[in-house]
Chains A and B, each alone.
Chain A
Amino acid sequence: MTQKIRCAGFGGQGIVLMGRLIAYSAMVEDKHTTFFPQYGAAMRGGTANCSVIVADCDIAAPTVEEPDVVLIMNGPSLDKFEDTVKPGGWIFYNTSLIDREVKRDDVNVFKVAANEIADEVGSSRSANMVMLGAFVAKLRTIELDTLLTRSLDAQMHGKSERVMELNRKALKRGASLAE
């Protein structure tokens, strides 16, 4: 199994954190993984994306040309990455900020009202966690439990308990969408 994932949205939505959490969880689960962020002159509000590969064997190319899964947090990212998804792959997208339908008919689509659900949980800043929760519950690339018990603590070290609890709730709410 090799799954290539791209997370995309605007700067400030926690796109890189989503990728790091997937990669860290994969490592904890003894899978092979590699994470690569778009880097350089980025700013809050600009576009941001990163790619993660999770596999049960050695990962050769670390580059992701044709992702199996995209986690899309805003409209410009859907425009940019919709066509890159492998036929038969998955598009998870944030309907809170994207008001159009996916045009492709050869991929699976999963809609997540990430910002609205995050708002209900306590803060729209956790929209990335809602999306991540839906993705792991639907595809089981990594386990929700790993995220909740290991990865959040390791990758968000130093955040207040209030923020951590918000993220855990948002992850669980996201996961419940896919159950």
Chain B
Amino acid sequence: MSEKIPIGEKVLMKGNEAMGEAAVQAGCMAYYGYPITPQNELTAYMSRRMLEEGRIFIQTESEIGAINMCYGTAAVGERCMTSSSSPGMSLKQEGISYIASASLPVFFVNVNRGGPGLGNIAPAQSDYFQSTRGGGHGDYRVIVFGPTNVQELYDFTMLGFDVADKYRMPTMILADGILGQMMEPLVLHEYKPLPDLPSKADWRLGDPATKDPLLVTSLVLDVPGMEQRNLDLFHKYEEITKNETRYEEVDTDDADIVLVAYGTCARIARSAMEQAREEGMKVGLFRPITLWPFPSDPLSKLADRVEHMLVVELSLGQMWEDVRLATGLKTKVHLHGRTAGGIPGQADIVEHLQKALDSKSDEIVRNF
């Protein structure tokens, strides 16, 4: 693959490697990372490709080193990234919080594994709260993409760099071990940046001999100053919620019950939906593509006409809480959650759909 990257053509690639190539194409100038399964192929891919391109690859002494190198690289206005898996992401959270406060663009990837603690290396989505609530300390958010196939891993990596620059903030992909490890055909689209990306000239640090000194810091001791910084972030987040919320709806028009799922789960849910429709149930699918901003408004509208929703996730009710917040008391939100490597079976979901449709008026059906 490395001698000649066939841009524009269809190739068979591993999810982890597809994100790496997309980052290279999008002009990522530095990759910093520390190995951890199940994202190792991304680090390995970058160790080769970044050097081929004459760019920076550093296997850092720790995850904390990697995220803080991103902080520095972003401060001088260069595109950079890091990647890890769950325990490694926990270590990076302090740095991400600093980067969010300093309004710097950094893109990163979490290929979620089973937790809590050191957990295991199996696929999971249990870092949903960590990803969508900021993750570190303080009042901040990270734009979170939840791709569902290898093509989207590629496409949203490119978009992740662009929206990071557009809003000057951290952005990320939340994937799981299946997406990271699987191979699928994808088209290696040429990178086309979003139109009107802002210039970095007025904020990036430069050579003090030719540029006035600037200060990048997350320490603001005076209260009004720090509160204002938070309010500025908050107003930016409102704008992002308006502009960047993404989702997909499938066959929701006539649905009595709608499956809500993202990432790998959305694909299993879709297979279950097709089976359930063959069995006569009217089932739709709602797939959040951005997990933050969460597509609350479209879900709320859907709740006006659908009596039941069934959230399917590789965690025990984390996204379920967001669906309940979005829909209020307008609809019954049932839950099918597996975790720590447990994968919902298609037949289990179909059975759960039937139980949900048959449930009493005040009953929420849960699989555990």
Contacts and interface: CB of A to CB of B under 8 A. Distances in A.
Given A60-B267, A63-B268, A65-B345, A27 B10 contact: yes
Interface residues of B, number: 24
A36 B178 contact: yes
A18 to B, nearest CB: 13
Interface in A41-84: 41, 59-63, 65
A36 B274 CA distance: 22
A23 B185 CA distance: 9
Name which of A34, A59, A61 has the most chain B CB atoms within 10 A of its CB.
A61
A35 B183 contact: yes
B146 interface: no
A34 B346 contact: no
Contacts of B37: 39-40
Contacts of A39: 37-38, 121, 177, 181
B184 A35 contact: yes
B12 A24 contact: yes
B343 interface: yes
Given A39-B37, A63-B178, A65-B346, A27 B270 contact: no
A20 B13 CA distance: 10
B267 A61 contact: yes
A60 B271 contact: yes
Interface size class of A (residues with CB under 8 A): 10 to 19
Nearest to B349: A61
Contacts of A24: 12
B182 interface: yes
Contacts of A23: 12, 183
Nearest to B180: A39
A40 B121 contact: yes
Contacts of B327: none
A7 B121 CA distance: 21
Nearest to B10: A27
B315 interface: no
A11 interface: no
B73 interface: no
Contact of B271 (A33, A35, A36, A61): A61
Contacts of B121: 39-41
Nearest to A63: B343
A97 to B, nearest CB: 27
Contacts of A62: 178, 182, 184, 264, 267
Interface of B: 10, 12, 37-38, 121-122, 177-178, 181-185, 264, 267-268, 270-272, 274, 343, 345-347
6 contacts: A33-B185, A34-B184, A39-B177, A60-B274, A61-B271, A62-B182
For the complex of A and B, 3 pairs with smallest distance between CB atoms: A61-B271, A60-B270, A60-B271
Interface of A: 20, 23-24, 27, 32-37, 39-41, 59-63, 65
